[in-house]
Amino acid sequence: MKFYSTNKNSEPVDFMQATILGQAPDKGLYFPEAIPQLEKGFLQKIENLPDEEIAFNVIRPYVGNEIPEEKLFRIVSETINFPIPLVPVNEFAFSLELFHGPTLAFKDVGARFMSRCLGYFLRDQEKKVTVLVATSGDTGGAVANGFYDTKGVEVVILYPSGKVSPVQEKQLTTLGKNIHALEVKGTFDDCQHMVKSAFTDAEINKKRFLTSANSINVARWLPQQFYYFFAYRQWQDKKNAPVVSVPSGNFGNICAGILAQQSGLPIRHFIAACNVNDIVSEYLGTEILKPKQAVPTLSNAMDVGNPSNFIRILEIFQHHFPELKSHLSSSCVSDEETLATIKEVYQGYNYLLDPHGAVGYLALKRYLENHLGEKGIFLETAHPVKFPEAVEKATGETVELPASLAELMQKEKKSVLIDNDFDQLKSFLLQ
């Protein structure tokens, strides 16, 4: 399998090169030259397959011969060694719980897979690699956990000061060793812009071998297909494919789901569940993609004003707008509606949502109200305990802290505060 740049001005590369480089030299994102199709009979036997075998069969065509099959199977097994259950909330909505991993967020899957792939590719390298990543919340903790103490890898994480939850901040600032946290006086988009600038800076790249662990990296993005397959395996009504609602910020997660659908996975329709950062919603109405300054919300991991991965969705549909609109719709949810939804679902169905899951649930509910008889899945992307203020405000009850987090919250935060200034990032990287 070869991967080309979405900007079309760089040479195609294999999976190993795409993983190590992160972003193409022409600043485009890597995209597979062909979308693999599921093997005949795969879906008919999926209910009897273990998670490891499902994931291995999904990712193998993308990896090709870059990792031996035995090693790739082990990487996949270590990536998904926690449950990903599909839980009924009511008669029309099912929650795909993606928060049972080590950092209680969906990004554990991609971060664990990428860290193990990169570790394999760098096994004989003497030169250290610097993983440079921007986070709006959960990516930082997942990447920090996934790469912690990995030989030959330094991790530098940029996050917006005051705009991540207390649990999220502790998860990315308390590990130490090879994990370095930069607290930026700005937004996630500012952090992401600084990271992209670093990748194209000749002086930095002369001293450091940079790669990215954001979902722009194929090794972070592609394994997110796994849990859509796990959801389908647990879906009882195989004759009627589900509608899937995905809380969307940088659009890597929903893009992976659409890729799985285009590979042959039965999904009726996708909903991009957004907060008030409504760039893609406006695009679907106007066919004009216009980045904006991100607005802080309760669903902070979705506070993105310039979603990098949307270009990959356009590539999937070959930039054909009518085809894209037939597969994807969008719904925007305010903070007030988010809180009301958490309260409604908790009181009505005894199910506790986090703010991102609440956005996903309400977007699904709205869609199904206009498509009677259909049922759907929404992605619950993080544990409610990561957003205690919002959840407690909505329900009036304290969210119990898991034992694993109680110890974490007592640890000392270690971060370097910097301005929204690329020169300060550059100075840090050149030290």
Task: Check: CB of residue 214 under 8 Å from CB of residue 134.
Answer: yes
Q: Which two tokens stand for residue 388?
A: 């205690």
Q: What is the CATH number of the domain that holds 328?
A: 3.40.50.1100
Q: Say if 60 falls within a structural domain.
A: no
| Per-residue model confidence (pLDDT) at position 137 | 74
Q: Which two tokens stand for residue 354?
A: 């986090």
- Owning domain of residue 284: 85-105+221-399
- Under the banding of pLDDT at 50, 70 and 90, the label for residue 215 is confident
Q: Say if 241 falls within a structural domain.
A: yes
| Average predicted confidence (pLDDT) for the chain | 94
Lowest mean pLDDT among 18-27, 113-122, 344-353, 397-406: 397-406
Range of 110-119, 167-176, 284-293, 360-369 with top mean pLDDT: 360-369
Report CA-CA distances (Å) from 200 to 196, 211, 305: 7, 11, 21
Q: Which two tokens stand for residue 81?
A: 């060694």
Q: Say if 71 falls within a structural domain.
A: no
Strand 243-247 relative to strand 269-274, pairing: parallel
pLDDT tens readout for residues 399-427: 888 887 888 888 999 999 999 999 999 99
Q: Say if 117 falls within a structural domain.
A: no
Q: Say if 28 falls within a structural domain.
A: no
Percent of the chain with pLDDT over 90: 77
What's the distance, CA 419 to chain centroid?
A: 26
Q: Please determine, for residue 364, whether its predicted confidence score (pLDDT) is greater than 90.
A: yes
Q: Say if 236 falls within a structural domain.
A: yes
Query: Is 107 tagged catalytic?
Result: yes
Q: Where are the beta strands (DSSP E) in 34-189?
A: 86-88, 93-97, 129-134, 153-160, 179-185
Q: Please determine, for residue 372, whether its predicted confidence score (pLDDT) is greater than 80.
A: yes
Q: Which two tokens stand for residue 430?
A: 């050149």
Provide the CB-side half-sphere exposure for 152 (13 A, CA): 16
Q: Say if 70 falls within a structural domain.
A: no
Count of domains forming the chain:
1
Instruction: Name the catalytic one among 27, 45, 107, 343.
Output: 107
Q: How many helices (H) and strands (E) does the chain have?
A: 19, 13
Q: Say if 166 falls within a structural domain.
A: no
- Predicted structure pTM score: 0.90
Q: Please determine, for residue 271, whether its predicted confidence score (pLDDT) is greater than 80.
A: yes
